[in-house]
Each structure stands twice: as structure tokens, then as C-alpha cells.
């Protein structure tokens, strides 16, 4: 890595270990890339808020990087990076967030109500889907065939899909393989998707990349989100929420074009 290039610290989406982004992360060269493979590892529940993961991310940056980093996050990881950069701006040179889960107001109201009633993990659709995931495979080949039939994965870049097959599983105690990020943890994290974001002020350059397809930031909501994130420059991506894993080379090229030298 050139001495004049700040290292990148990457934070992954829920359910996808950082190593499953390897084709995308490799394309970020010549920048050195640090990450925590799994944010909030294990099966221990996050009790109240994604903010409980922030100390782990701060500790990881302090251990791995000897200078301020460019924070690059996807979905769940964007929120953790944002709060870390607010708490410890000295650790960051810049922040680039891809598809933070900023759902429409109606969704956020429902999430807030369900969480208050203790029903979030059972009734929020994306958390319910995580609970129902198949989580045991006899082999990587079985997982490859099973996931390859799912519509969600069919738009993935082949190298990213294979990286998920290889890095999304760990040996299971009973034999075979299970999900590296257990489905109970994935559902728990989805159930705590923020219903409001509050303060988003930053003391460093910040960029927000949103996808044109899907419900994360519908076009009608863009102006309101720009008001909520006044310190961010907004960039449009023609594609879906999982675009770093669908178009890794193009996504990495965009990220590198936004990094302030």
C-alpha cells in the first residue's frame, strides 16, 4: 500500500460475513482493507440497539489500523460505522455508506410498535424470513445448489456467490455445516432495525450511496433523507440493495472515486 493512501475499514451487512465480500474488497486495491469478519459474533442477543456493536468496531479499528481510516459500510454496517465515527472521529478520515437501512416512515412506525410489543422477531417480515432459513447443509456443494435456486442470490456476481458459499458457513457440531452468522442472530439484528436515526452530524467528509431498486430509499423519500443527513453527499446507484455483491468491480470503482486523497 502506498504510504499516502489511507486504509479502508469495511463493515458488512447483516447475515453476510466480511469475507463473503472478498471479490469486492480485492477490487479496492491498492488500498489496504481492514475488517471484522463478523460484527456481533456468536449467538448472544443484541438486547436493545445496534449501538451495542459500536465498541467492538472501534476496538477493531484501534487494533488493526495505525492511522485514520476511510470507513466503508453496507446496510447494517453503515449504522455501526456512523455511530463509531460520531463517537471517535479521530479514528476516521472519511465515511462512505452504501444502502443504510432507512426504511419508509410507515415501515418504521410498524417496526417501532412491534418492538414495543415484543413481537418484532416473529412479525417483521425480514426477521421472520431469517428465522425460517435453512441453516444446516451436509456440504458446500449442497449449500451452493440450494442457494443457487433462490431468487435473492441469482443476481449475485458468480465470484461473490462462491465467496458466500465458502465463507458463510462453518462446521456444525453435529457434522456438516451451519451458518457462520446464526439465523437466530440474523433475525435478532433485523428485528432491531432502527425506527429513527436522530443525530447524523459528522466532523468528516461523508458520502451516501443509495440504490434505485428496492425499498431502502425510494425516490420519493430522497429529499427527506438528504435533510436528515445534511453532512452527506448523495450518490445514486442503478441497481438493488446488494449491489456490492452483485457488481463488485463497478462498486469498488465508485468507492475509490469518492475517496479523498
Q: Are strands 177-179 and 136-137 parallel, antiparallel or unpaired?
A: antiparallel
pLDDT-above-70 percentage for the chain:
88
pLDDT tier at 147, thresholds 50, 70, 90: very high
Express each pLDDT in 182-223 by its tens digit: 999 999 998 888 877 788 899 899 999 999 887 666 666 667
Q: Is the pLDDT of residue 156 over 70?
A: yes
Q: Give the pLDDT score at 229.
A: 87
Give the SS3 label for residue 8.
strand
Express each pLDDT in 227-258 by its tens digit: 888 899 999 999 999 999 999 999 999 999 99
pTM metric for this prediction: 0.92
Residue indicated by cell numbers 467528509 = 205
How far, in Å, CA of 17 to CA of 9, rounded? 14
In 212-242, which positions are buried (b, 16+ CB within 10 angstroms) versus exposed (e)?
eeeebbeeebeeebeeebeebeeeebebbbb
Closest CA to 125 of 211, 183, 190: 190
How far, in Å, CA of 101 to CA of 217, rounded? 8
Query: Is 22:29 a contact under the CB 8 Å cutoff?
Result: no
**74 CA to centre of own chain:** 3
**234 CA to centre of own chain:** 18
Q: Give the pLDDT score at 102.
A: 73
End-to-end distance of the chain based on CA atoms, in angstroms? 14
* C-alpha dist (Å) from residue 232 to 179, 217, 255, 256: 35, 15, 14, 17
Q: Is the pLDDT of residue 179 over 60?
A: yes
Residue 245 neighbours by CB distance under 10 Å: 25
Q: What value does the mean pLDDT of the chain take? A: 90
Q: Is the pLDDT of residue 96 over 80?
A: yes
Sheet containing strand 136-137, strands side by side? 136-137, 177-179, 169-171
Helices (H), strands (E): how many in the chain?
A: 13, 9
Copy the grid coordinates of residue 220: 420519493
Sheet containing strand 8-11, strands side by side? 33-35, 8-11, 69-74, 92-98, 206-211, 232-237
Residue 95, strand partner residues: 71, 206
Q: Give the pLDDT score at 116.
A: 67
Closest CA to 73 of 59, 85, 55: 85
Q: Give the pLDDT score at 129.
A: 86
Closest CA to 136 of 110, 172, 166: 172
Copy the grid coordinates of residue 116: 414495543
Amino acid at each position: 500500500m502506498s504510504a499516502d493512501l489511507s486504509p479502508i475499514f469495511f463493515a458488512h451487512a447483516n447475515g453476510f460475513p466480511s469475507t463473503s465480500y472478498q471479490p469486492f474488497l480485492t477490487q479496492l486495491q491498492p488500498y489496504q482493507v481492514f475488517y471484522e469478519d463478523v460484527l456481533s459474533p456468536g449467538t448472544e442477543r443484541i438486547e436493545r440497539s445496534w449501538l451495542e456493536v459500536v465498541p467492538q468496531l472501534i476496538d477493531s479499528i484501534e487494533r488493526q489500523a495505525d492511522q485514520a481510516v476511510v470507513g466503508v459500510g453496507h446496510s447494517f454496517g453503515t449504522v455501526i460505522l456512523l455511530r463509531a465515527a460520531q463517537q471517535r472521529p479521530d479514528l476516521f478520515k472519511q465515511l462512505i455508506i452504501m444502502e443504510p437501512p432507512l426504511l419508509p416512515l410507515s415501515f418504521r412506525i410498524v417496526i417501532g410498535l412491534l418492538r414495543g410489543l415484543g413481537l418484532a422477531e416473529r412479525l417483521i417480515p425480514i426477521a421472520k424470513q431469517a428465522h425460517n432459513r435453512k441453516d444446516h447443509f451436509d456440504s458446500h456443494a449442497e449449500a451452493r445448489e440450494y442457494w443457487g435456486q433462490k431468487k435473492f442470490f441469482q443476481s449475485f456476481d458468480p465470484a461473490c456467490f462462491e465467496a458466500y458459499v465458502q465463507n458463510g458457513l462453518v462446521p456444525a457440531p453435529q457434522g456438516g455445516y451451519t451458518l457462520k452468522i446464526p439465523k437466530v442472530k440474523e433475525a435478532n439484528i433485523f428485528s432491531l432495525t432502527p425506527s429513527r436515526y436522530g443525530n447524523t452530524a459528522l466532523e468528516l467528509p461523508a458520502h451516501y450511496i443509495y440504490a434505485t431498486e428496492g425499498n431502502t430509499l425510494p425516490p420519493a423519500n430522497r429529499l427527506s433523507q438528504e435533510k436528515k443527513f445534511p453532512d452527506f453527499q448523495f450518490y445514486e446507484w442503478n441497481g438493488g440493495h446488494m449491489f456490492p455483491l452483485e457488481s463488485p468491480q463497478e462498486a469498488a470503482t465508485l468507492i475509490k472515486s469518492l475517496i479523498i486523497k
